[in-house]
Structure 1
Amino acid sequence: MAKQAEAIWGGLIGRAAFVGAFVLFGGVWQLAMAQPSGADGSDFVYRVQPGDTLISLAERYMDSVQGWRLLQQRNHVADPYRLQPGSLLRIPFDRIPVVPATAQVVFARDATTGGKPLQAGTKLAEDAQIDTGDKGAVTLAFDDGTRVTVPPGSHVALSRVRAFARAGLIDVRVHVKKGEAESNVAPKKSGVGRYEISTPALVTGVRGTRFRVQASEAGSTSSVLEGEVATSAGRQKQAVKAGFGVVASAGHLKRTALPAAPRLDTIPQLVQTPCLRATWQPVKGAVGYRAAVARDAALTELTAYQSSKAPAATLCGDEDGDYILVVQSVDALGLTSESATRPFTVRLHPEAPYTIQPASDRTYRSGDVAFAWAMVSDAGSYDLEVSDAETFASPVIQQHGKDVRLVRPLTAGTWWWRVRSVAADGKTGPWSDAQRFRVLDIPLDAAPTAAVDAGDDGKLHAHWSALSPELVASGARTRVQLAGDTSFAKPIVDIVSEGNEATLPRPPSGVYYIRTGVDLGDAASVVYAKPQRIDVGSFVGDSARSPVQSGDGNLLLND
């Protein structure tokens, strides 16, 4: 996704007071913008348009049309009927009627208010308290399009949620007690009333800009992404522009440049595994990184948050779609960079079937060879390929059909096979990892040896797509479960595999389900793929003791 265009809406530098330190955001005027221009201390600032008079402005914005006299006095206007277009007019906030307003939840995940779960569409009034869990997030929208996103581990209060009745502008104050909030103020460039975010050590009054505010026991930070800032702590004053940030601690402010954003050029555009191990080059001056996955171009529907000291993150999910990887650098002061973004597409479904036989690197008798795999719930059919080369440049067998078990003749040699699911609409999923096996000319009366295995060892062999080398290097393993139902409440088998195959005790005849998940060392957070069905039963052998296809096409294994 292209970097969001830099905002050029601004206003006069506002003022807000708070015990300790305070920071106030503003910007520069642009004549082409709409007339409402934001706050300056206790005044609303208006840019005069052709045809405006003090009487018409008092009627539009103030509690009484007679307010024009106050406007004339405060703004030193000689003729209330002749105003200079483009000039600035101050209107006291205390003379502009306010009405209650609400903040609407546009995205919520593992977030609560007053102990109750939040969901999209919920409207929150003044004094609402918001908590996000360790993996939660919430994005709120106000009437003018302003949005504030609250990431995991945060506690935020809506101290004031109102609107100026006749101006159509918001009057909002948000208090970040713990954690963080990122705001995109007045993105429609239609003007701002008051928008203020505070922490225990920092107050930020802002309009027409993007910024992040973070509160912790060590202090508070504000990272300015767009706009211009004026900071003050006691007698200290500092002008801060986009690309810089401030740290507030013990009543003092420190201004410094934000760290550079990482480069995400090496992130693949197509992901066909449930977990992505994203890596990038280290950023000079960064002591850590934060990564998340956005489901929308506005970067407000964020999931899979992760913090890391290394320039890498493991992000997991199981839903197909178009996403955006969002990564920020973090410096030693806690200031964060502009978000680096990288779009990517996840295509997991229909999933590759778990392959059963021929098992990897096993030897089979020449003649009819049975190919079997698990049944994928959202697959309408399957594609099978068998080749004498790992590249599958010229497959010897190409089969499309609904069966999950096929028998095909093969001569002696080394072979590779793979299978993929095909949805009812013709959409194909990823291929399974190719499995290599050998076929030998073995006489029927030959005695079995350790080096010659006809393939019938009374075990259940399961193979799945291997984890990427980057995931394995990060400590990821595959958790494998076999159960008699799709709830997996009481799995028959529950193991962690170092590779991409497992040899399991063959259960009694019946219907079973198998699933795998990426295990990052915490069994409670394993991301599992959808279960796939295996029918374990008896089938009749032919004269060469090779399995025979069942009538309904289900996978049947020797009992």
Structure 2
Amino acid sequence: MVKQADAIWGGLIGRAAFVGAFVLFGGVWQAATAQPSGADGTDFLYRVQQGDTLINLAARYMDSVEGWRLLQQRNHVADPYRLKPGSLLRIPFDRIPVVPATAQVVFARDATSGGKPLQAGMKLAEASQIDTGDKGAVTLSFDDGTRVTVPPGSHVALSRVRAFARAGLIDVRVHVKQGEAESNVSPRKNGVGRYEISTPALVTGVRGTRFRVQASEAVSTSSVLEGEVATTAGRQKQAIKAGFGVQASAGHLKRAALPAAPKLNAIPELVQTPCLRATWQPVKGAVGYRAAVARDAALSELSAYQSSKTPAVTLCGDEDGDYTLVVQSIDALGLTSESATRPFTVRLHPEAPYTIQPASGRTYRSGDVAFAWAAVSDAGSYDMEVADTETFASPAIQQHANDVRLTKPLTAGTWWWRVRSVAADGKTGPWSDALRFRVLDIPPDAVPTAAVEAGNDGKLHAHWSALSPELAASGARTRVQLAGDTSFAKPIADVVSEGNEATIPRPPSGVYYIRTGVDLGDAASVVYAKPQRIDVGTFVGDSARSPVQSGGSNLLLND
């Protein structure tokens, strides 16, 4: 059963319990440079090379050169000086001297040993206990380059961490009490001494190979990616080569070819959004997929994962860096494919500035349009673009700026703009969201003029014609100002109306000026009609200072 998992840049390969069928791995023969061939029970296995003798092998591996006699007897060798190249020689482990060794932590996240947090660079001795949190992970490295990765929700003990005293080969046993472990054994191809992973019901004896083991309460699986393993469940035994896997359940083995690796669709080389959406074509026979993000070429520092029943995942995070997307297919038996990989780079910093203006959906007057955004602390400068399409395929304006404000001329039309931060080293962060705004031409004859009437209520009542449908649809309103001089530096009244009338408190007697304008929401860009002069005294006069009355009220007429 494939479960959905939260996609974050932190996590690994799901939780499992290693209980179930008994599986024994072994039997992988490397090239001529890999004569040490691992373990089989209580024996160390060695593949004979040209020029080997029992005496020099005893001197190299055993506690005494006299051990050649035991080797001759146990391996039924007629002539200790003439060994058949390619034949298998067994050396008892109890006659091989070992020295204490350590496991080095090469990657750790939300993991502890003995209650203390683990960190990269730490060394763990034999008998160390390791616990990973729900989103934790640890990768350990041994002296020969062997690595074991422990995913979330696991409890692991280093039962034995030693090395052959004279050959430098490892002698390691890892006990998984709960969870999972994935191993890449002897990646340098120099052979392996003894490397075993055990669980309450599972023993994995590896002889230089790369494989994955997973187990549920009743079922265990092994997917062999390199080399060859020998498996045993109950009384059944099978040798499994790379490209195949086995499911063990109730003492029975079921062998099958591994599912094909997914063929990843194109993903961008540079990702500048918090989440990466990865897709691929469905794989025949796959019932699910597992995706992860690795921070290293060895794919042991996994910083995100997600399981999915469909050929797509979304992985999210907020750390810049170079990553590798890793995706595997999972078939109905639980066997997993070789990994499909794709490198990519995440760059989310410097962060995109918060935009101030033009605001999304607003309308502005044609001519000089002001652009502004918030300052970003680690930005040395900024890039700003304006385009007539949301794709920014052919920007009308491309401006590199050191300040957070600039003004650019724009003609009437619908526009999009965006801005990004540029670090001092020239690296660019992600673009801000593209904001759509509109620019309108507002000719002088589009601005209504007001007629003013002095009412019996002691107030002035201004009236004007309605705005054009285009201006009204853009959200424009009419602004009315009354001031004591033509500069309107300190208006006595400043009223914005969505209709075509406004009421202004009647000022003291004197000479005043009134004007109307089209307001698009930005006071600095209001287009005003020519001011008109009015006299306010015992009467309200027109421009010729003649009183005008209607219905007992003084009237003010336009110039």
TM-score, normalization: structure 1?
0.73
The question of whether the paired residues in 2 share the 8 Å contact of 1:202 and 1:248 is answered with no
| d(CA) in 2 for partners of 1:411, 1:33 | 74
| d(CA) in 1 for partners of 2:339, 2:477 | 54
Query: Is residue 122 from structure 1 mapped to residue 122 from structure 2 by the alignment?
Result: yes
For residue 264 of structure 1, what is the amino acid of its counterpart? L
Give the equivalent residue in structure 1 for 2:290.
Answer: 290
- Report matched runs for 1:477-556 at 5 Å: 544=526
The question of whether the paired residues in 2 share the 8 Å contact of 1:324 and 1:342 is answered with yes
The question of whether the paired residues in 1 share the 8 Å contact of 2:38 and 2:44 is answered with yes
Pair 1:268–1:452, CA change in 2 (3 A): closer
| d(CA) in 1 for partners of 2:404, 2:423 | 14
1:409 positional shift = 3.5
Query: Is residue 26 from structure 1 mapped to residue 27 from structure 2 by the alignment?
Result: yes
The question of whether the paired residues in 1 share the 8 Å contact of 2:21 and 2:220 is answered with no
| d(CA) in 2 for partners of 1:43, 1:301 | 34
Pair 1:85–1:260, CA change in 2 (3 A): closer
| SS state at 2:167 partner | coil
| Structure 2 spans left out of the alignment, 5+ residues | 1-18, 449-465, 480-521, 529-559
- Report matched runs for 1:127-276 at 5 Å: 127-276=127-276
| SS state at 2:23 partner | strand
The question of whether the paired residues in 2 share the 8 Å contact of 1:178 and 1:216 is answered with no
Pair 1:401–1:189, CA change in 2 (3 A): same
Pair 1:409–1:76, CA change in 2 (3 A): closer
| SS state at 2:180 partner | strand
Pair 1:280–1:388, CA change in 2 (3 A): closer
The question of whether the paired residues in 2 share the 8 Å contact of 1:20 and 1:201 is answered with yes
Residue-by-residue CA offset, 1:13-34 (whole Å, 9 max, x unaligned):
xxxxx9962322222453x224
The question of whether the paired residues in 1 share the 8 Å contact of 2:360 and 2:435 is answered with yes
| Structure 1 spans left out of the alignment, 5+ residues | 1-17, 458-539, 547-559
The question of whether the paired residues in 2 share the 8 Å contact of 1:135 and 1:304 is answered with no
Tell me which moved more, 334-343 or 260-269. 260-269
Give the equivalent residue in structure 1 for 2:319.
Answer: 319
For residue 98 of structure 1, what is the amino acid of its counterpart? V
Pair 1:378–1:118, CA change in 2 (3 A): same
CA RMSD of aligned residues (A): 3.0
The question of whether the paired residues in 2 share the 8 Å contact of 1:323 and 1:346 is answered with yes
Tell me which moved more, 223-232 or 80-89. 80-89
The question of whether the paired residues in 2 share the 8 Å contact of 1:146 and 1:185 is answered with yes
Give the equivalent residue in structure 2 for 1:483.
Answer: none
Pair 1:60–1:240, CA change in 2 (3 A): closer
1:115 positional shift = 2.5
1:62 positional shift = 1.3
Tell me which moved more, 339-348 or 244-253. 244-253
For residue 25 of structure 2, what is the amino acid of its counterpart? L
| d(CA) in 2 for partners of 1:391, 1:325 | 27
- Report matched runs for 1:92-131 at 5 Å: 92-131=92-131
Give the equivalent residue in structure 2 for 1:331.
Answer: 331
| d(CA) in 2 for partners of 1:316, 1:441 | 44
| d(CA) in 2 for partners of 1:450, 1:92 | 94
| SS state at 1:22 partner | coil
Task: Give percent identity, aligned residues only.
Answer: 84
The question of whether the paired residues in 1 share the 8 Å contact of 2:20 and 2:220 is answered with no
Give the equivalent residue in structure 2 for 1:304.
Answer: 304
Residue-by-residue CA offset, 1:299-334 (whole Å, 9 max, x unaligned):
111111112222221111222222111111222332
| d(CA) in 1 for partners of 2:234, 2:384 | 74
For residue 22 of structure 2, what is the amino acid of its counterpart? A
1:338 positional shift = 1.5
1:187 positional shift = 0.7
For residue 333 of structure 2, what is the amino acid of its counterpart? L
The question of whether the paired residues in 2 share the 8 Å contact of 1:420 and 1:432 is answered with yes
| SS state at 1:24 partner | coil
Pair 1:43–1:455, CA change in 2 (3 A): farther
| d(CA) in 2 for partners of 1:313, 1:70 | 58
1:186 positional shift = 0.6
| d(CA) in 2 for partners of 1:49, 1:25 | 20
1:389 positional shift = 5.0
For residue 240 of structure 2, what is the amino acid of its counterpart? V
| d(CA) in 2 for partners of 1:292, 1:180 | 16
- Report matched runs for 1:71-110 at 5 Å: 71-83=71-83, 86-110=86-110
For residue 114 of structure 2, what is the amino acid of its counterpart? G
For residue 320 of structure 2, what is the amino acid of its counterpart? D
For residue 424 of structure 1, what is the amino acid of its counterpart? A
Pair 1:133–1:220, CA change in 2 (3 A): same
1:189 positional shift = 0.9
Give the equivalent residue in structure 2 for 1:527.
Answer: none
Tell me which moved more, 375-384 or 79-88. 79-88
Give the equivalent residue in structure 2 for 1:486.
Answer: none
TM-score, normalization: structure 2?
0.73
Larger relative contact order, structure 1 or 2 (CA cutoff 8 Å, min sep 6): 2
Tell me which moved more, 278-287 or 102-111. 278-287
Tell me which moved more, 301-310 or 367-376. 367-376
For residue 23 of structure 2, what is the amino acid of its counterpart? F
The question of whether the paired residues in 1 share the 8 Å contact of 2:20 and 2:216 is answered with no
Give the equivalent residue in structure 1 for 2:486.
Answer: none
For residue 33 of structure 1, what is the amino acid of its counterpart? T
1:52 positional shift = 4.2
| d(CA) in 2 for partners of 1:455, 1:345 | 48
Give the equivalent residue in structure 1 for 2:501.
Answer: none
The question of whether the paired residues in 2 share the 8 Å contact of 1:201 and 1:251 is answered with no
Give the equivalent residue in structure 2 for 1:371.
Answer: 371
| SS state at 1:377 partner | coil
1:358 positional shift = 0.9
Pair 1:245–1:178, CA change in 2 (3 A): farther
1:101 positional shift = 1.6
| d(CA) in 2 for partners of 1:254, 1:219 | 11
Pair 1:125–1:273, CA change in 2 (3 A): same
Pair 1:210–1:408, CA change in 2 (3 A): same
Give the equivalent residue in structure 1 for 2:342.
Answer: 342
| SS state at 2:424 partner | coil
Give the equivalent residue in structure 1 for 2:473.
Answer: 451
For residue 473 of structure 2, what is the amino acid of its counterpart? A
Residue-by-residue CA offset, 1:324-368 (whole Å, 9 max, x unaligned):
111112223322222111112223233332322112221112343
| d(CA) in 1 for partners of 2:477, 2:28 | 74
- Report matched runs for 1:391-430 at 5 Å: 392=392, 395-430=395-430
| d(CA) in 2 for partners of 1:395, 1:341 | 35
Pair 1:451–1:35, CA change in 2 (3 A): same
| d(CA) in 2 for partners of 1:431, 1:544 | 31
1:390 positional shift = 4.8
Q: Determine which structure has more spread, i.e. the larger CA radius of gyration.
A: 2
| d(CA) in 2 for partners of 1:294, 1:240 | 28
Residue-by-residue CA offset, 1:420-462 (whole Å, 9 max, x unaligned):
22211222334334322212234596588753446999xxxxx
Give the equivalent residue in structure 2 for 1:504.
Answer: none
| d(CA) in 1 for partners of 2:159, 2:41 | 18
Pair 1:19–1:390, CA change in 2 (3 A): closer
1:90 positional shift = 2.6
The question of whether the paired residues in 1 share the 8 Å contact of 2:104 and 2:121 is answered with yes
Pair 1:90–1:387, CA change in 2 (3 A): closer
Tell me which moved more, 69-78 or 225-234. 69-78
Tell me which moved more, 414-423 or 83-92. 83-92
| d(CA) in 2 for partners of 1:169, 1:334 | 33
The question of whether the paired residues in 2 share the 8 Å contact of 1:44 and 1:93 is answered with yes
| d(CA) in 2 for partners of 1:388, 1:19 | 63
| d(CA) in 1 for partners of 2:416, 2:181 | 53
1:86 positional shift = 4.8
Tell me which moved more, 294-303 or 40-49. 40-49
Residue-by-residue CA offset, 1:506-556 (whole Å, 9 max, x unaligned):
xxxxxxxxxxxxxxxxxxxxxxxxxxxxxxxxxx9758599xxxxxxxxxx
